[in-house]
Structures are given as C-alpha cells and as structure tokens.
Structure 1
Amino acid sequence: MPILRVHTLDDSRLEVYTKLTQHQLRNAIDPERGIMIVESEIAIRVALAHGLEPLSLLVDEKKLAAMEDVVAQLAYEVPVFVMPHALASELVGYKVTRGTFAAMRRPAQADMTTLLRTARRVAVLEGIVDSTNVGALFRSAAALNVDAVLLSPECADPFSRRSIRVSMGNVFLVPHARFEGVWPLEGIEQLHAAGFTCAALALSDTSLTLDDPSLKEHERLALFFGTEGDGLTHSVIDGCDVVVRIPMAHGVDSLNVAAASAVAFWELCR
C-alpha cells in the first residue's frame, strides 16, 4: 500500500481516529468487529508482535522514518496515512505527541473459566474507572508475574486508547476478563470455587501487613484493588478471606492504586 498523505482531520478516511467514540469503537452490538486505537510506537510494535490485526496506520511525518520497518511488514491492503506534525498535535490536543497511531481489531476477551483454571496470582479490580490507572496497573502486572487481571463490571476498558498507551502495550501481554452476574457476591464465589484465597488491599484494624509470611503460603491468591476514591466496597472486604495493608511512614494512609498494586505484586507474585 503506498503512503497516503493527509492534510486535514476532516478527511473521511480518518474517522476511526477522529470521530468515533470509545463506545462506538468497542462496538457493543458486535464485539467481534470491535476496533481499538493503539497509540505510540512501542505499543504498536508490541501489538503486532502478538499477532493483533492492523486495519490502518496514522503517522506523524517526523516519525515515519522510525516506523519504516513496521510499514514494510504490513499487508498491502492496510493503508498508511501520513500527516504533518501540526496535525498530529491537533489530533491529540497537545503539542508533544508520540505521533504514531494504529487502528487495530480488538482481541477477544479471555475466557474467565480458563483463566481461573490455570492462574496462580490474579489481580481483581473493583470500580477503577481511570484508564490511566488501569494502564499503569497492567504494566506492573506484566512486569511482576501476575497471571491475569479480572475486572468488575464497571471498570474502565483496558483496550481504551489511554490505557494502551500508559501500559506501553502491556495490556496485550496479560490476559484479562470481566466478571458477569451479581457483583461482588458471584465474583468472589467464582474465585473461591477455583481455589483462590481472596485478599483485599484495604485499611483495617485486623489487616495483615503485606510482608506477612502467611500470604505467600497460598497456592492461589486473588488480590483485590478498589476504586480511586473510596477503595474497596465493604461488601468486597467482608467477602474476602483476608485484609492486607501496605505499611506506611510519615502518616501517609494510602498509595495511588497503580502504585499500591506494583508494591503488592512485587511482594506476593514473585
């Protein structure tokens, strides 16, 4: 496919990048035809290395030389659009931009039953709606040996553009699935049935510290992390087998969920 130069964001060929909402990209009516926008050279390379299907590429002209090998491996029918640097900044809304985007087919969500059958350490996210936090958590999960990430029904989409970018493509390395049914009752029951000990990361007078040796004795451990504002709900904490806290200094009571997850993964998933 020849390089196609574009000079306006009103070009109808760019609508997947400029016009469609996250909901429209995800295509709830027909998820198998859903699309995601992968932003940054690193994330695009990770996605392609894991066999994800590209539909088109949109590149800042200043980044084209660095992407030549990527362009060369694309199928002929995959269009490569090249835009002026100023247009790339306009697209993302700020001057500093990585300047590389790909529209790609969304991979199928992993099967929950299969994940629970094979995993030993999983992260369970309840109500985390900030896609930056979700992306950062996936990056830590990939680096620190987490087998899967499980999401409550209202969590942000790991395949949103921001989550993918913040994770540096690591959302493609760690399988994830979303709980269905009554949350959290049926979700915790499903984990217990699969042999997991459920550990809530929360502040509690009866909590264990993260370095408590007993936590590493569990063959299968599910680590629960709560929403950015209030943390885990009482129903999740009550349903878990143990409550765990990260010891703090200087009167600090908690960490951002992305930072807390990295600390917990390092201690319990090695």
Structure 2
Amino acid sequence: MPTIVDISDPADPRLNDYVSLRDTSLRQSMEAAEGLFIAEGDKVIRRALEAGYQPRSFLLAPRWVDELSDVLEGCEAEVYRVDFALAEQVTGFHVHRGALASFERQTRHRLDDLMEAQRLVVVEDIVDHTNVGAILRSAAGLGWDGVLLSPRAADPLYRRSVKTSMGAVFSLPWARMDSWSDDLDRLRAAGFTIVALALREDSTSLDELAARVAPGQKLAVLMGTEGQGLSEHWLAQADAVVRIPMGHGVDSLNVAAATAVVCYVLRP
C-alpha cells in the first residue's frame, strides 16, 4: 500500500514540487534544477507510470486516491491527499481534475537514436507549450516515428505540453537537437529528404509532394513558429518547400493543426 498523507497546510514543504504551476519562468527553472516534471489528470498520470517514469509524489483529491488505487498500489512515492481549495492555493490554478503527480525527469533519446526513423517532425523554435504538446500527439497518433526539437523550442515535459499531448510525450521518441545550424545536414546524411512547410510562391502543394514520395522514403518535415515561420537558414537547407492549399481567404493554419494535416497526408 502507498503511504497516504493528509495535508491541510499549503506551506507544507512536502508540496514544493507543486507550487505556482502557472508561473512558467519559475517552473521551467525549478523543474530543470530539481529534475522533475508534473503530470496532470488521471489518464496522463497512468500513462507516465506505464511508460516507466519514476514518481516522486502524488497530489490527489480524495476521490482520486480511490480511482487510482490500482496504479498506486506498487508505488513507493507518498500520496498527498488534499482538498480542492488547498490544491488551488498551492498550484495557483483550479485543478479541476484533482489529480497531479510529480515525476523524475529523464532524457530518453538523442538525435542519433532517431536516425533510423522513416518519418520525423522537426520543430524550429516553437515556444508555445500547448502547440508542442499537440504536435507530439498528432505525430504519435498518425504513425510517425519521432519529433526533433531545436535547442530553443518549448519543453515537451512541461505540464501544459504533457497535458495537451495526453501522454504521447511518454510514448513517442523525441529528442532535442545539438546544433540548430548543423543538424539538418546530419539528417540528410542519414538519408532523410528534408521537407519545409512554408508560405512561398515557389512552394509545392502538399498533395503533389505526397504523390511523389517513394515507398520507404525517409522524410523529415520542418515546422516553424506561428509568426515568423521557418528561418531562412532552415528553408535554404530544404529539399522541397510545400504548402497546404487553403480557401476562403485563409492563408494558413495554426502550426499544431498544420502538423496534423501534414502527418496524415505523408503518413508512412
């Protein structure tokens, strides 16, 4: 049986992992320093445990102590049982699902681990955690092999990324690139065709590109930021530049939605 601890004091130091979860800059520095990440919601907690991540502790409303009893059974981490008001006071937001857990952070993959993949999404400097989480979810759900992130892209293990991905961040291999300027050359050397998604007059329709993809061809698709898109440096290294045909005067989709379309059309 796990150790269940009832806590009524929001200043209890055992709750430090859960303090100010909406303060992005504080959380990013703290989680990196402490080597942790936060999973929110029962499904995401279950998926983190199933993927083998080591829990540090659980912060649960009373009903979730019972609902998660099957997965808590084998855990040595303490379970902090709190009411919703205290959870909100500690975390800084309304924890409507009433279930949080702190896990030990792990780096599971590096760029070299993904060189044998057939389909990769490559993310350049997308700093919105929700978009990164949605990209991971689409790539996983549509059968892609992994996601690569530029050094400045958002953290896939940040709470909002994890939540939006619905735990796909735990099952889909992802890695951070070592060099923004040089690592696309490493992908090309490993046999990948580099495809950039961009609004350019000389771009090819996504459908046209899909019709030319050979069986077994390795693709790495570059996705850029909402405002600026891909950098000129990355665009210059692409073997093909494609666009999603649009209508009704709309020029583009949100980057997460665009990734989902690309992953579906170019699925292996």
Q: Same fold (TM over 0.5)?
A: yes
Q: Equivalents in 2 of 1:193, 1:131: separation in Å?
A: 30
Moved more, 11-20 or 53-62: 11-20
CA contact (8 A) 1:200 1:242 kept: yes
How many residues are paired up? 260
Q: What SS does the corresponding residue of 1:244 show, helix, strand or coil?
A: strand
Question: What is the Cα-based RMSD across aligned positions, in Å?
Answer: 1.6
Partner of 1:103: 102
TM-score by length of 1: 0.91
Partner of 1:228: 226
Q: What SS does the corresponding residue of 1:4 show, helix, strand or coil?
A: strand
Partner of 1:12: 13
Q: Equivalents in 2 of 1:95, 1:37: separation in Å?
A: 15
Partner of 2:41: 40
CA contact (8 A) 2:42 2:99 kept: yes
Q: Equivalents in 2 of 1:160, 1:2: separation in Å?
A: 26
User: Can you give the 5+ residue segments of structure 1 that lack an aligned partner in the other structure?
Assistant: 28-32
Partner of 2:23: none
- Alpha-carbon distance, 1:103 to partner: 1.0
- Alpha-carbon distance, 1:22 to partner: 1.9
- Alpha-carbon distance, 1:211 to partner: 1.1
CA contact (8 A) 1:225 1:231 kept: yes
Partner of 2:31: 25
Query: Which letter maps to 1:89?
Result: E
Residue pairs, 1:61-100, within 5 angstroms: 61-75=62-76, 78-95=77-94, 97-100=96-99
- Alpha-carbon distance, 1:125 to partner: 0.2
Residue pairs, 1:188-227, within 5 angstroms: 188-212=184-208, 213-215=211-213, 219-227=217-225
1:265 to 248, 263, 266: 263
Q: Equivalents in 2 of 1:92, 1:249: separation in Å?
A: 43
1:132 to 102, 120, 130: 130
Q: Equivalents in 1 of 2:118, 2:59: separation in Å?
A: 39
CA contact (8 A) 1:127 1:226 kept: yes
* Cα gap change, 1:217 to 1:244, in 2 (>3 Å): farther
Partner of 1:112: 111
Partner of 1:30: none
Partner of 2:239: 241
* Cα gap change, 1:206 to 1:216, in 2 (>3 Å): farther
1:160 to 158, 161, 169: 158
Q: Equivalents in 2 of 1:159, 1:215: separation in Å?
A: 33
Q: Equivalents in 2 of 1:200, 1:124: separation in Å?
A: 9
- Alpha-carbon distance, 1:120 to partner: 0.4
Q: What SS does the corresponding residue of 1:73 show, helix, strand or coil?
A: coil
TM-score by length of 2: 0.92
- Alpha-carbon distance, 1:114 to partner: 2.2
Query: Which letter maps to 1:23?
Result: S
